[in-house]
Amino acid sequence: MRSSHWMSLSAFALGALIFTGCETGGNAVAEGRKAARRGDYAAALKHFDDALKADPEDYNALWGKADIYQREGNLLEQQTLLEKLNTEPYKEYAGVIKPALESNYRKQAEAILGGNPDKGEELLRKAIGINKKSEANQTLAELLERKGDEALRKADWKTAAESFAAAKELRIARKMRSKLEGKLEIASFKVFKAEFEPRFKAAIGEPTDKGIHIVTEQAIYDPKEGMFTVEAIAQLGRKEPKEDEEKAQAAKQGLYEVTQALANLSWKMAGKPRPEGAMVSYSNEVVEVVAQGLDKEKREWFYGFRVKLPEDAVIEQVQVIDKGEFKKPEPAPAEGAAPAEGAAPAEGAAPAEGAKPADQK
């Protein structure tokens, strides 16, 4: 009698376990997978949870739940499980876990970039941290470019420069990198110009009664125009150049002298002594030739140049000087020799026919 009663109780207990859905871990995982295949995600999650009750560290159950959350679009819950799996105890499954987590971060980021760009950036960086070649590189670069563009519109030059610089370092197409480098150059210059302002004021000195600043013996600055004017002459002696070749050589000597005057101005604005032979280059795009030509004073002939250039062009060269990126060309040419290759402002070009002398407007 006692034995029969015990067997009845055991049968009742087993039936109760089956009725309440408590399963062994392996069986629960198998049932969860079946439910997932037929699209019954609620049942699948219940089976996987049953497996985790038996073993909270069961990889198959954790992965099963992560898979269901991914199918449902519940990326936050999937992230939590994948991050748990992306740890030392589960390193043998890294080949499956890491790509899934990288994809999770990217999808989350893309979903929130419009409303929460900072969080989106954080997630994209996590994706790249898992896979350096992740597609998140392109998305992050685009996000940082937009951030930089917005900073430029707000005149927040430092943030703009930092954003463009960070975007440029990502794994992106060469064309986009080139575009970012151009924007970075603009933002970096704006940062430098803002920091340079006290030095600029010190370098131009006090204005004269006419409101201009005498910066060097050959250069003045007009704050109303925001322009520098530089004059230079090349003494040619008593003989007047008459032949075309003689006139061309005279023009080259004048070009050399104004190029030297521009270099002197640049180092004066940088507040540093100019090293012997050191040069900077101004292009024809920024230098305006106001007047040039032959003239004489008493019996001495000379070839003169008067040029103008904007303050930003000078500040750019100060930036070059500060970085130590200036050039050291050949020594000054002998009389009649051509100036160094690429000399400014005319970059070696012959003067225009019929140009006005330097002391005329």
Confidence grade of residue 331 (pLDDT, cut at 50, 70, 90): low
Confidence grade of residue 26 (pLDDT, cut at 50, 70, 90): confident
In sequence order, the 6+-apart residues with CB closer than 8 A to the CB of 170 are 128, 137, 138, 140, 141, 144
Look at residue 299 in the predicted model and tell me its pLDDT.
Answer: 87
Burial class (CB in 10 A: 0-12, 13-18, 19+), 186: middle
Look at residue 335 in the predicted model and tell me its pLDDT.
Answer: 57
Above pLDDT 90, what percent of the chain?
82
| Residue linked to tokens 């430098």 | 192
Cβ neighbours of 97 (radius 10 Å): 24
Confidence grade of residue 13 (pLDDT, cut at 50, 70, 90): very low
Given phi > 0 = left and psi -120 to 50 = alpha, else beta, which region is 187? alpha
Measure the N-to-C terminal CA separation of the chain; round to a whole number of Å.
Answer: 130
**CATH (residue range 2-190):** 1.25.40.10
User: What is the 3-class SS of the chain, one letter each residue?
Assistant: CHHHHHHHHHHHHHHHHHHHCCCCHHHHHHHHHHHHHCCCHHHHHHHHHHHHHHCCCCHHHHHHHHHHHHHHCCHHHHHHHHHHHCCHHHHHHHHHHHHHHHHHHHHHHHHHCCCCHHHHHHHHHHHHHHCCCCCHHHHHHHHHHHHHHHHHHCCCHHHHHHHHHHHHCCCCCHHHHHHHHHHHHHHHHHHHHHHHHHHHHHHHCCCCCCCCEEEECCEEEECCCCEEEEEEEEEEECCCCCCHHHHHHHHHHHHHHHHHHHHHHHHHHHCCCCCCCCECCCCCCCCEEEEEEEEEECCEEEEEEEEEEEHHHHHHHHHHHHHCCCECCCCCCCCCCCCCCCCCCCCCCCCCCCCCCCCCC
Domain chopping of the chain, boundaries = 2-190, 213-323
User: What's the CA dihedral at 258, 264, 270, 274 to 10 degrees?
Assistant: 140
Cβ neighbours of 223 (radius 10 Å): 12
CA–CA separation, 228 and 223 (whole Å):
9
296, β-bridge pairs = 301
Token pair of 268 as six digits:
């004066």
What phi and psi values does residue 194 have, to the nearest 5 degrees?
-65, -40
Q: Is the pLDDT of residue 204 over 50?
A: yes
| Residue linked to tokens 């225009």 | 352
Residues 228-252 pLDDT 10s:
999 999 999 999 999 999 999 999 9
CA dist list (Å): 91 to 33, 86, 229: 23, 7, 69
pTM above 0.85, yes or no: no
Confidence grade of residue 360 (pLDDT, cut at 50, 70, 90): very low
CA–CA separation, 159 and 272 (whole Å):
29
Residues 258-295 pLDDT 10s:
999 999 999 999 999 999 999 999 999 999 999 999 99
Look at residue 336 in the predicted model and tell me its pLDDT.
Answer: 54
